[in-house]
Amino acid sequence: MYSYSDFDEAFVRARVAQFTHQVERRLDGSLTEDEFRPLRLMNGLYLQLHAYMLRVAIPYGTLSSHQMRQLAMIADTYDKGYGHFTTRQNIQFNWPKLPDVPAILGALADVEMHAIQTSGNTVRNVTADHFAGAAADEIADPRPYAELLRQWSTDHPEFQFLPRKFKIAITGSPNDRAVTRAHDIGLRMVRNAAGEPGFEVMVGGGLGRTPMIGVTVRDFLPEADLLPYVEAVLSVYNTLGRRDNKYKARIKITVRETGATEITRMVEERFTELRPLFGGNDLKLLEDIRAAFAPPAFRNAPTDAFDAFHKADPVFRAWADTNLAQHRHAQYAIVTISLKAHGETPGDASSAQMRLMADLAEKYGHNDLRISHEQNVILPHVHKSDLPSLHAALATAGLATANVGLLSDIIACPGMDYCALATARSIPVAQELATHFEALKLEHEIGPLKIKISGCINACGHHHVGHIGILGLDRAGVENYQITLGGDGTETAVIGDKTGPGFAYTEIIPAIERILRAYLGLRLEAGETFLQAFRRVGMEPFKLALYGGEGAQDAA
Amino acid sequence: MSRRFTPKIVTANLLREGDVVYLTADDRWSHHHHEAELIDDEAHAQMRLLHAAAQKLLVVGAYLADAKAGPKGPEPTHFREEFRTRGPSNYNHGKQADHAS
């Protein structure tokens, strides 16, 4: 795992000291709120509906046990004993008090963490495949590149005042688990004809009020060119991006207004200028970083215990069949710990749960934890013989829910229960969907399904790329939920289509049930997933199920 | 054509704690919506908002929110303001736990 260099350490400590003084000056009246707001946002501190919220970056979603324990300590000491993991692999604390925030940032710095650039018009936390370094289908671990991008983008003087925020996602696998096509820059590792690794570079993806799938500006970028190429994209965007209109300021609009061909030409031209200026230092740094991400020393031991438990224990089998993914080492498995127990808040973990996960990662998982954009926690390297003990330990803390990839594994943004921007609630909709279908015992019958819920048009809940997307809006002073179908966040990314008029809060659960009962009725066989069935039959059968035959509309 | 003024209350968040508070007629900041001053005159509302915004060491982001008279005092008319009187719906945190009236 990457450890801070002296430079990193000094930089983060200096920022904590600086912000400590800024908070003091705000509290004694030397700074007005207008002066203070941009300073606190630079350090991840928002003022939300009921309280302040601190957003802490978890670079490329990777945490050590030591860091996870510190997050638990912060939750207990300065918050209400829990944290919320987000779709950008961050953690948010929902109840910090302003005078305590400098101490929290100091506690984060103690474990090489910070909240820098988790807000503002800068390059945000670089996200990565949560199975990085472990997945069987991976070409190379994407995290060294993500760390290189983190170092380069942190406090980069040219990119602190971009036209708008900028999100980069990277995956080392051709199978995209990092939603790269919905990012300002998406990097997907591929091999060229000679078998060399490089990146497909996608630019101008994004969700929000104008959802777009990124366009490929380079089919194959040699890995050695990564940093100058990304800088070239940022540089072109920084010049062309619209600062006159906040809603047209993201690079997705720049790409559409300029044209993919012209943007590509400009990026390539800028890249030609920049490439020689890097002088090889980027590659030297990458080599150093890469050493920090060397794979753990995998154990060679029998896996009989796993096989025996799998055969004998149906509860363990159900969990293993849904929550494990294929590791590149045949004796190992990738474990997804579901933070989606039925009826609980998606992405929330109590401090006790954080500590248990930290302990289990230390005991069984080479000290490695990941946060997925799907708001779960991953133990990427667990020997199969340890899985029965791990499962038993997780079950003691409500962390053994066997639902990964199923209906109740819902992404939900904080919505109007916390967020000042939200137009409706999302958490209770997720909770009710999970408990409703649990009571009907339909979840396993329905099979693989991604439901994603956002509480406003900004789409933090990725609803556009949910197989079923739910968007909460304020329609004439009442919560109203719009449904989209057929979205896909993988390498075959698609923005979902709206079904039609939205549904009231009390109508949204029955509406989703009508969609899923229609699916169960029309699928060709149990193995045809919801998304496959939707692609085969299209929108009409689902519209009929939702609104009836004569276009009767039972909601606003 | 002039529209009738919708009654308002002044609300903000406390600078230090972030808690939602309401301006009362006797110039206190209360945690309880029903203790807020219900303002039915537009000019007076603007004066009260200016008064609130000037208290830079106490509150942040003061604004006028629609309200209506109720048996105990002013009540919110929009669901967002209603949520602000309570706290989140997923946990018993915030006002509903700390300032239950």
pLDDT tens digits for range A10-32: 999 999 999 999 999 999 999 99
B88:A50 CB<8 A: yes
Provide CATH code, domain A6-59+71-110. Answer: 3.30.70
Q: For position B98, what pLDDT does the model report?
A: 87
- Checking ipTM against 0.85, whether it exceeds it is yes
How do residues A46-71 score in pLDDT, each as one tens digit? 999 999 999 999 999 999 999 999 99
B54 in contact with chain A, both atoms CB, cutoff 8 A:
no
Chain A residues in contact with B56 (beta carbon < 8 A): 29, 32-33
Q: Is residue A220 scored above 80 in pLDDT?
A: yes
pLDDT score for A550: 53
Compute the mean pLDDT over every residue in chain A, rounded to the nearest whole number.
96
Domains of chain A, residue spans: 6-59+71-110, 142-292, 304-395, 411-547
Confidence class of residue B2 from pLDDT cuts 50, 70 and 90?
low
* B3, part of any domain: no
Does residue A553 surpass a pLDDT of 50? no
At which residue do the structure tokens 């400009």 appear?
A266
Query: How high is the pLDDT of residue B99?
Result: 82
Cα distance between residue A436 and residue A398, in whole Å: 19
Q: Tell me the fold of A142-292.
A: Sulfite Reductase Hemoprotein; domain 1 (3.30.413)
Q: Which two tokens stand for residue A327?
A: 């590791």
Kindly determine whether residue B79 and residue A477, on different chains, have CB atoms separated by under 8 Å: yes
Give residues with Cβ within 8 angstroms of A469, minimum separation 6: A451, A452, A453, A454, A462, A463, A483, A484, A485, A487, A496
Please provide the DSSP assignment of A502-516 as one string: -EEGGGHHHHHHHHH
* pLDDT tens digits, one per residue of A306-356: 999 999 999 999 999 999 999 999 999 999 999 999 999 999 999 999 999
**A411-547 classified as CATH 3.90.380.10:** no
Rounded CA-CA distance A467/A451 in Å is 6
Interface contact flag, B89 A417, Cβ < 8 Å: yes
Instruction: To the nearest 10°, report the CA torsion of A219, A222, A224, A228.
Output: -30
**Average pLDDT for residues A380-392, to the nearest whole number?**
98
Give A498-536 pLDDT, tens digit per residue.
999 999 999 999 999 999 999 999 999 999 999 999 999
Q: CB–CB of B19 and A51 under 8 A?
A: yes
Interface test with A, best of B80, B92, B96 (most A CBs within 10 A): B80
User: What does the pLDDT read at residue A202?
Assistant: 98
Nearest chain A residue to B78, by CA: A477
Can you tell me the mean pLDDT for A367-393?
Answer: 98
The pLDDT, as a whole number, for residue A1 is 81
Specify if B2 maps to a domain.
Answer: no
Residues written for chain B: 101
Residues of chain B with C-beta less than 8 angstroms from the C-beta of A477: 77-79
Q: What is the pLDDT confidence band of residue B3, given thresholds at 50, 70 and 90?
A: confident
**CA A338 to CA A346: how far, in whole Å?**
9
| Domain total of chain B | 1
Contacts of B92 (CB under 8 A, 6+ apart): none
User: Which CATH fold would you assign to the domain A304-395?
Assistant: Sulfite Reductase Hemoprotein; domain 2 (3.90.480)
Contact A145, A286 (CB under 8 A): yes
What average pLDDT score do residues A250-267 get?
97
Look at residue A353 in the predicted model and tell me its pLDDT: 98
pLDDT digits (tens, 9 = 90+) for A163-200: 999 999 999 998 999 999 999 999 999 999 999 999 99
A228-242 per-position pLDDT tens digit:
999 999 999 999 999
Chain A within 8 Å of B6 (Cβ-Cβ)? no
Across A356-375, average pLDDT: 98
pLDDT recorded at residue A274: 96
Q: Same CATH fold, A142-292 and A6-59+71-110?
A: no
Taking one residue from A and the other from B, the number of pairs with CB-CB distance under 8 angstroms is 75
What is the residue range of B82's domain? Answer: 8-98
Segment A116-152, tens digit of pLDDT: 999 999 999 999 999 999 999 999 999 999 999 999 9
Within 8 A of B83 by CB-CB distance, chain A residues are: 49, 416-417, 425
The answer to whether residue A555 scores a pLDDT higher than 70 is: no
Rounded to whole angstroms, the Cα distance separating A64 from A367 reads 6
Q: Which backbone phi and psi does A101 adopt, to 5 degrees?
A: -60, -40
Selection from A138, A45, A23 nearest residue A90 by Cα: A45
Q: Would you say residue B82 has pLDDT above 60? A: yes
CB contact under 8 A, A474 and B80: yes
- Does residue B50 form part of some domain? yes
When pLDDT is cut at 50, 70 and 90, the band that residue A72 belongs to is very high
Alpha-carbon distance of A99 to B16, in angstroms, equals 6
Torsion of CA B50, B51, B56, B60, to 10 degrees: -70
Q: State residue B45's pLDDT score.
A: 98
Give residue ranges of A with CB < 8 Å to any B CB: 26-27, 29, 32-33, 47-52, 80, 94-95, 97-99, 345, 348, 416-418, 425, 427-428, 431, 474, 477-479
Check whether A35 has a pLDDT greater than 60.
Answer: yes
Q: What is the CA radius of gyration of chain B?
A: 13
Calculate what percentage of chain A has a pLDDT beyond 70: 99
Partners of residue B95 in chain A, C-beta under 8 Å: 50
